[in-house]
Amino acid sequence: MSTKERINLAAPCGIDCGICELYICKDNKQLYDHMISRGIPEEKLPCGGCRNVNGNCPVIAGECETYKCMTKKKVEFCSDCADFPCYKLAPAADRADVLPHNTKVFNLCIIKKIGIEGFLERSAEIKQIYYKGKMEVGKGPKSDN
């Protein structure tokens, strides 16, 4: 995959579609079948990544409101917007254990700080810490490794 194709898999909201299960199931039949068993429509799998499907994420009905907003405002990432951060990016505890959405603002800040290529080098580590790390009060999350 070219660098441009990989960068294109970074969604405007800061989610790395390139490591999303809905995208990587293209190379993993067991994961593909698992996504279908979780209610993802077969015709929407594998997902091509937010930008490649014009914000029509398999897990939502219709076009993503954040994607529509980014398109209207003509920004590459939400962090490029004058209104960043906005409530579309606000974290919520609901399903935080299974959805990566609480990482969006952090991811966007990393993109703004070290660039998209630097973020993509670290996005798998960030996701791992989010799902498997342990929070130490006053110190932040620590990897479970």
The DSSP-derived string for 3-51 is HHHHHHTB-TTS-BGGG-HHHHGGG-HHHHHHHHHTT--GGG-S---TT
Residues 6+ apart with CB under 8 A from 53: 47
- What would the pLDDT profile of 4-25 be if each residue is shown by its tens digit? 999 999 999 999 999 999 999 9
3-state secondary structure of 67: helix
CA angle (87, 133, 91) in 5-degree steps: 10
Confidence of residue 145 (pLDDT cuts 50, 70, 90): low
- Asked if pLDDT for residue 110 goes beyond 70, the answer is yes
- Average pLDDT estimate for 31-58: 94
Domain ranges of the chain: 3-142
Residues 6+ apart with CB under 8 A from 103: 14, 15, 126, 127, 130
Residue 99's pLDDT is 86
Lowest-confidence region among 42-56, 93-107, 110-124? 93-107
- Is residue 10 within 8 A of residue 121, CB to CB? The reply is no
- Asked if pLDDT for residue 143 goes beyond 90, the answer is no
